[in-house]
Chains A and B, each alone.
Chain A
Amino acid sequence: MSDTFGELAEIAAAPRPRRARRTRALPPAIVAAALIPIALIALPIVYVLIRSADAGWTGIAAELFRERTLMLFWNTSVLTFSVTGLALVIGGAAAWLTERSDLPGRGLWRVLFCLPLAMPAFVASFAWKSIGPSFQGLGGAILILSMESFPLVFLPLAAALRSMDPGPEEVSRSLGHGPGATFRKIVLPRALPAAGGGALLVAAHMLSEFGALSLLRVQTLTTAIFQQYELQFDNASAAVLSAMLMLFCLPVAFGEIHLRGAERRDKVGRSAVRRRREQPLGPWLWPALGFSAIVCVLALGIPFGRLGYWLIRGVSAGRGIEAIGPALWGSLSLALPGTIVTTIVALPLVLLALRGGGRIARIAERLPYVVHGLPGLVVALALVYASIRLLPAVYQTRAVLFAAYAILFMPLAQSALRASAELVSPEMEDVARTLGRGALRAFVSVTLPALAPGLGAALALVALELMRELTATLILAPTGVATLATEVWSLTSDGAYAAAAPFAAALVLISGLPVYVFTLRTLDPGGRGRKRRPRTG
């Protein structure tokens, strides 16, 4: 704490030298690189505004002031707030138990808590729905989606808890503060960016969720946008709804800035690899184990059970099975490069907001979160509109699809990267620069390696999301390229559940692999992926 106060005092007393020092910390090449994501994000925003204008003022007013619009707003709000709250509670508890308590089998629980990421929400929803009609509707959707989305809070939060400098905690404990007070005063403020970033992602997911909600018969702004496109062949009123959805995203996107406050969370020493004392659970051991088990049954057991059921029954079993190889290749060949593109594109925005610090940088960093709440359909149509007019040669090539992926999923990379980036001290770069490195080289040799834990989480989150991405892939993928997700979608929409089951199983398996690998890389102490020491020389 005194560290923060000291820094605040320093800023107040001597703003000028500080400003100069901070400015040097971010190489101009990074600033330049940030213009690419900003340009990408602007595309769907401009498209939605142009198309909304097509509806005219009367059209916009007619769309806004309707009983139905009120209902859609209500459903969207209830769903978003409830699922985000539940995901924070479940993901937060899970992260604390696996990172800070003496819960037995933490390595296993860690992997289990990440695995729901591999289960696409529409597959999970179908599984739950087939148990009985009572899981349909808003209540069921809140339960099912909370269970499938809490890892978005768990993963960044666990990574943050793990890479946090234990020094201040040890100081706090040595000053006689109890574990509770230490957690509140030291750990919680430092974990908030990760938790807030994860919660933002969950909220944005809820705003844009389509497949699961339509299976569960919940009507939100997003399902209404899809319905609008199904109902008529004039995209104006769907665009008006999209513009409303973006307005809805604004408080979500900017709210977290307040959550973060002005706290400084970086560290100078590289002490985080030291082992931290675990909090004994004592009498809470059994409730903690029970909680973990129930979460795993709800989030994993039931969806996997139903998937297995469809694998062994149904007349369409085996139909189209020869397509599984091409679909698998399709998924990998789109998701893996897409992941790398998305993560690279997100990086400068994170650094810009963190180091540039100005208001414009912060707004730029938030914009992807506003667009993240838009349905993939709208972003895809924006890219159709733009690419066919500006660059017809790239239309229906992978390049346009990767741009759509970057627009849709940049915030996943951002939140994971920022959790790590905030822990990197700019002074380290200064040290490198006083040793004669240029700004860019100092950045590459000092800051980038320190981002490794966040980078792993970023790659994991984006890869998983891209594996199951459906609507943008359907519209923008090169003709003839199918993915596991698009095969599952088209087979289930023909009612061929047994035929779809192997594709769904392959999708879950192939997603489970990166979840496992990246979880180890992100969270495993001393894991091979954690090259924490900067090369100096």
Chain B
Amino acid sequence: MYPLSRRALLKGAALGGAALAAGPALIAAASRPARAADGPLALYNGQHRPPVEALIAAFTASTGIEVAVRHGSSAQLASQLMEEGAHSPADVFWSEESPSLFALAEKGLLAPLAAGTLAAVPAEYSAKDGTWIGATARCRVVVYNKANVDPATLPASVLDFASEAYADRVAFAPASGAFQQQIMAVMILKGREAALAWLKGLRQYGRVYNSDSAAVEAVESGDIPIALSNNYYWQALAREIGEADVQSAIYNIGHGDPGTLITVSGGGVLKSAKNAEAAQRFVAFMVSEEGQKAIVAAIAEYPLRPGVTSPFPLTPFGELDPAPVTPNELGDAEAALALLREAELA
């Protein structure tokens, strides 16, 4: 309605241009550099915090190397690392799920790990090209409410939950990385059609939750009788509430069914790491006896290094009888995503 005069506009533009040019320079001068080259080891952490904090404390006590941590979800940190590319200030990435590590390796962002480090855990739990290593294993389980469900009536396969008999009785979290790996396992063992039918059935009869832990809490509070989840969410809840008061329990399907599936958390060193040597030491420490003990004391996951045992009352690793697929086969989340989209779950 009242356009500015040309003179005011020109004057404004000139001042603005100067401000725009000076602004970033001033900001750059005022802020400290992103990280000094010989600063602390920079860890991007997507794993749960208690085990990471325990491991860092042990690592720093043992080596004298300080560690600065960024916490986040594995997938978000992986997205961030990809946006950062070669300029990333990160040295080490510790992921809750192997697909995030797999994706970074695919993009060529991870450096090879030392042979001695890779030898510490069984080869099937690490990257084939040696760019990341599994640190702990967890298991897909069925969590049920003891008041509403008789475990003897639970089905022999996770595929059976996608049926009318379980209408509005099963909670699942399609966005969780572990669920995507479970889709991959179903696809590998039962075929693509079966996997799609399973997802469509879950969409029709199951209930979508935001995360595994939300699904487990819903079972505990009686909102829904059954949830598909990782084992340690239930163990964390049981410890929070107290073993005596907990209303839910874990059911292992076993006999090689994709309902019982081993997934791993693990770590890798960034190719762009400024503290490459310290980063390699950190990952080696993750799978050392001392490091593994520190981790599994803080979270109900299985140590992958032979000879270390968890203090939690877990079903022994040897008795799980899980689906016969390795983390490497489950690494590429793209096929799982295509199925999720086809089933209109994503």
Residue from A36, A314, A393, A495 within 8 A of B233 (CB atoms): A495
B146 within 8 A of A: no
- Whose C-beta in chain B lies nearest to the C-beta of A496? B240
Does the CB pair A384–B217 fall under 8 Å? no
Q: How far is the CB of B107 from chain A (nearest CB, A)?
A: 8
List A contacts of B240 (CB < 8 A): 314-316, 495-498
Q: How far is the CB of B98 from chain A (nearest CB, A)?
A: 12
In contact, A36 and B213 (Cβ under 8 angstroms): no
A-B contact pairs, 18 of them (CB 8 A): A26-B8, A34-B16, A36-B16, A68-B344, A136-B223, A223-B210, A231-B180, A232-B337, A233-B78, A314-B240, A315-B240, A316-B239, A358-B1, A384-B80, A388-B83, A388-B84, A395-B34, A479-B89
Report which of A28, A36, A496 forms a contact with B8, defined as CB distance below 8 A.
Answer: A28
In the complex formed, the residue of B with least CB distance to A18 is B2
Given contacts A316-B240, A381-B83, A394-B28, contact A231 B337 (CB under 8 A): yes
Q: Tell me which of B2, B78, B174, B224 contacts A357 (CB under 8 A).
A: B2
User: Digit string of B17-28 for contact with A (CB within 8 Å is 1, else 0)?
Assistant: 111100110011
Q: Known: A356-B2, A393-B33, A480-B69. Contact between A133 and B15, CB under 8 A?
A: no
What residues make up the interface of A, taking CB atoms closer than 8 Å to B? 18-20, 22-23, 26, 28-29, 31-36, 39, 66-68, 130, 132-133, 136, 214-215, 217, 219, 223-224, 226-233, 235, 314-316, 355-358, 377, 381, 384-385, 388-399, 474-475, 479-480, 486, 490, 493-498
Task: Contact check, A33 vs B19: say whether CB atoms are below 8 A apart.
Answer: yes
- Closest chain-B Cβ to A439's Cβ sits at a distance in Å of 9
Inter-chain contacts of A385 with B (CB < 8 A): 83
Chain B residues near A227 (CB, 8 Å)? 174-175, 346
Residues in B with CB closer than 8 Å to A393 are 28, 31, 33-34
- Please indicate the chain A residues that have their CB under 8 angstroms from the CB of B5 in the complex: 20, 23
B82 at the interface (CB under 8 A from A): yes
Contact B87 A392 (CB under 8 A): yes
Q: Which residues of B contact A136 (CB under 8 A)?
A: 223
Taking A388-B85, A391-B24, A393-B31 as contacts, is the C-beta distance between A35 and B2 under 8 angstroms? no
In the docked arrangement, what's the CA distance between A28 and B69, Å? Answer: 45
B207 contacts across to A, CB distance below 8 A: 217
Contact digits for B202-236, partner A, Cβ 8 Å, 1 yes 0 no? 00000111110110111001011000000001001
Give Cα A231–Cα B333 distance, bound, in whole angstroms. Answer: 8
Question: B127 contacts the other chain (Cβ, under 8 Å)?
Answer: no
Contact B346 A231 (CB under 8 A): yes
A358–B3 touching, CB < 8 Å: yes
Q: Which of B77-109 contact A (CB under 8 A)?
A: 78-80, 82-85, 87-89, 99-100, 103-104, 107
The verdict on A377 contacting B76 (CB below 8 Å), with A33-B19, A217-B210, A391-B28 known, is yes
Check A479/B35 contact, CB under 8 A, given A233-B79, A233-B100, A314-B240.
yes
Q: Are A232 and B19 in contact (CB under 8 A)?
A: no
In the complex the two chains form, what is the Cα distance from A223 to B9 in whole Å? 42
- How big is chain B's contact interface, by range? 35 or more
* Given A23-B8, A393-B34, A399-B31: A232 touches B334 (CB 8 Å cut-off): yes
Are the CB atoms of A315 and B242 closer together than 8 Å? yes
B-chain residues with CB within 8 Å of residue A494 when the two chains form the complex: 48-50, 213, 236
Let me know if B256 is at the binding interface, CB within 8 A: no
Q: Which residues of B contact A479 (CB under 8 A)?
A: 35, 42, 68-70, 89
When C-beta atoms are compared, the residue in chain A nearest to B39 turns out to be A479
CB distance A130 to B221 under 8 Å?
yes
B14 interfacial contact with A, CB 8 Å: yes
Contact B76 A230 (CB under 8 A): yes
Chain A residues whose CB sits within 8 angstroms of the CB of B73 once the complex forms: 230
B82 near A233: Cβ-Cβ < 8 Å:
yes
Chain A: CB-nearest residue to B83: A384
Q: Are A32 and B76 neighbours in the complex by a CB distance under 8 Å?
A: no
Contact status B16-A31, CB under 8 Å: yes
**CB of B237 within 8 A of chain A?**
yes
Cβ contacts under 8 Å, B15 to chain A:
28-29, 31-33
Which of B24, B214, B217, B224 sits near A394, CB closer than 8 Å? B24
A26-B31 Cα distance, complex, nearest whole Å: 33
For residue B57, CB closer than 8 A to chain A, the reply is no
Which residue of chain A has its CB nearest to the CB of B7?
A: A28
A224 to B175, CA, bound (A): 10
Given contacts A227-B175, A395-B34, A495-B213, contact A486 B71 (CB under 8 A): yes
Q: How far is the CA of A480 from the CA of B73 in the complex (A)?
A: 16
Given contacts A233-B79, A391-B24, contact A28 B11 (CB under 8 A): yes
Q: What 14 additional pairs, Cβ within 8 angstroms, besides A399-B28, A490-B49?
A: A26-B4, A28-B11, A33-B19, A35-B17, A36-B19, A217-B209, A230-B75, A231-B333, A232-B337, A233-B75, A233-B99, A315-B242, A358-B1, A498-B240
